[in-house]
Structure formats: structure tokens, C-alpha cells
Amino acid sequence: MRHSIRSTLTVLVSALSVLLVSGPALAYPPPDQVSGDTVVHDPTMIRTPAGYVLYSTHGLLEARTSTDRTTFTRAGSAFRTPPAWWSGYSPENDPWAPDISRERGQYLMYYAVSSFGSNNSAIGLATSRTGRPHSWTDRGIVYASAIGFDHNAIDPNLLVDHRGRWWLSFGSYWTGIRMIRLDPATGKRHPSDRTLYHLATRPDEPYAVEAPDIVRHGRHYYLFASYDRCCAGLDSTYKIKVGRSSDPAGPYVDRAGQPMLTGGGTLLLETHGRVVGPGGQSVTRDAGEDVLVYHYYDGTDNGTPKLGLNVLGWDSEGWPYVR
């Protein structure tokens, strides 16, 4: 009897150890319930006086609207026609990974034009008074990379820091995440600070870090980035990691203190249940909450890319987690 009890306890301890090791993956909540047109890649969302508007990769920057952050309706695209310069970077005139924000009384959208696997890429800027579909005016190229560069000008994200300085982070593979200063008067590259800052990479090829999004919380800036393989349906291994810094330009470190420039990054969200390869994320502030906006591949729908929304919580040490 004593031997039986000991064996049972051994099995229970072993099972508990497995749960503790794999706990974070098991603890992720499902995405918030959404409906309507939710097949997206690289979503970005903002709340306007007329309701929510969400933009995503492809289709002249696909647009969806919502009144309640739950039901989304396809509403055309950001642009009616492609700007002439796009064709120099994408023969298909196929823009990627928009980033929407509102500054100085207007809406700004930074976005990338490229082709898969190439770093002949450019980041453009468009502006709008309303942020609504078909209301955008293109303002041209902000930054470009070319074949032979050690970085890639895609996946842009605007940050306005606590001192009013404007920053644009961007990049993927080709040594990871980079950043430049912008001129708030134009939204283009700063005329005197021409530094190309380096925020995150990893030591192993192909240096799969992309899709930066930086937000301020408390006294820190948090860099959210997507790691590993995107855009492969159920074979995708995308995941979201985060690091933080007291300065917008870094250095960013993870919870354990490892710099993101040496492969660090605290895991925020990864494959769980039907949610495969979550990434391509942005963070938006809405109704006093930080909302993580991302895509994932639906394991119950043949790997179709879907919209994911989750509110972020912040723990006692100031690190974000998915609620």
C-alpha cells in the first residue's frame, strides 16, 4: 500500500512538472471573439470618431470597419489607385504591413512595398483627415533599402516618445530591427540625426526577427517583435516576443536581462490550441486598455489567416501578458 501511494505521488509530481514547464503555452487565453471579414495579415487598428478602422497587408492596404471591435466589415482599401513609385519595389503593386496612428490632428499611415524574400524595399507615408478607407493621400518614400543592404525596409512602426521626438522602427531578417529619427514637421527622415539605430537581432541565420511595434508603459518603452517563420499556414512558427528599454533607441532587454541584440526576448504569445503562428502584431490604446492586434493561422480552418485581438495586462514587474 505504501509503495502504491509512493508510485502515485511520483506520477503526480512528474505530471505537475510537465505542466509547470509547459504552463505558459497552456495558459494563453483564446483570441477575443470576432466575426465578419476577419481574414487578414499584419493588421493595424485605430478608433476614430466614426468607429474602428483596421488596415492590413495586400489589396492597396485592405480596410475593415467596426462599431464594436467585434464585427468587422470589409470597406475597400486605403488607396483607390497605387502610387507610381510602388512598381519599383513590387511589380504587383502589393503593399504590406501598415501602421496607423493619429498625430497633430491628422492620421498617419506608414507602410511597406516589397516582394517576398527581397530587400529591395521601401517604406511610404500617407496621411488622412479622417483615417477612413479611400481617404489617404500618399506622401512618398520615407526610407528605402536595396539589394546588398544588411537590413530591410519593411514593417514600419511610428513612436512618438515622451519628449515629443518621432521615431520609425522597421525591419526583418537581414540583421533584424532598425530605427531612424523622423522630423515631426514632415513625417520623413530627420534632417540632422541620420543614425541608423539597431534594436534587435539574433545570432542564428536567417536572423528571423521582424514586425516591430514600440509602445510606452510607465517609465519604459516596450519593443514587441515577431520571431521565426510567417506565412506558411499550419507550418508557421511565428511567435511574439518583447523587451524593454528606458530609451526609445535602446538597448532593449528581456525579463532575464538578455539584450535583444544578442537574441533575447521574453515570450508573449505563441502557438496554442487552434491558434497557429501568431504574429504581425501591433498594439493600440482603446478605452484605457492596451489591445494586441495580430494575425494567426486557424488550425480548425485549414490554416486560414485570421484576426486576433487580446487585451494586454501588465504584471507587478511591469511586463505585459495576454489576457
Write the CB contacts of 164 (distance below 8 Å, at least 6 apart in sequence). Answer: 184
Output 276 or 23, whichever has higher pLDDT.
Answer: 276
Backbone angles phi, psi at 257, to 5 degrees: 90, 5
What mean pLDDT do residues 134-152 have?
97
Q: Model-level pTM?
A: 0.91
CATH class given for the domain over 38-322: mainly beta
Over residues 38-90, the pLDDT tens digits come to 999 999 999 999 999 999 999 999 999 999 999 999 999 999 999 999 999 99
Instruction: Report the phi/psi class of residue 187: left, alpha or beta, with left for phi > 0 and alpha for psi in -120 to 50.
Output: left
Q: Are the C-beta atoms of residues 297 and 244 closer than 8 Å to each other? A: no
For 101-138, write each residue's pLDDT tens digit.
Answer: 999 999 999 999 999 889 999 999 999 999 999 999 99
Which residues, at least 6 apart from 91, have a Cβ–Cβ distance to it below 8 Å? 115
Residue 5: enclosing H or E segment and its boundaries?
helix 2-27
- What is the rounded radius of gyration, in angstroms, for the C-alpha atoms of the chain? 20
Angle at 65 between CA 29 and CA 68, to 5 degrees: 55
According to the model, what pLDDT value does residue 206 have? 84
pLDDT tens, position by position, 243-296: 999 999 999 999 999 999 999 999 999 999 999 999 999 999 999 999 999 999
pLDDT at residue 117, rounded to an integer:
87
65 with 73: CB under 8 angstroms?
Answer: yes
Give me the active site residues, please.
42, 210
71-77 and 35-36: which strand pairing? parallel
CA–CA gap between residue 174 and residue 83 (Å, rounded): 27
Give the amino acid at 168: L
Q: Is the sign of the CA dihedral 252, 257, 260, 266 positive or negative? A: negative
The confidence score (pLDDT) of residue 18 equals: 32
Report the pLDDT value the prediction gives residue 2, as an integer from 0 to 100.
37
Give me the residue spans of the domains in the chain: 38-322
Query: How far is Cα 24 from Cα 39, in angstroms, rounded to an integer?
Result: 27
Residue % of the chain over a pLDDT of 70: 92
The continuous run of DSSP H or E covering 6 comes out as helix 2-27
Q: State the pLDDT at residue 11.
A: 34
Give pLDDT tens digits for 191-245. Answer: 999 999 999 999 988 889 999 999 999 999 999 999 999 999 999 999 999 999 9
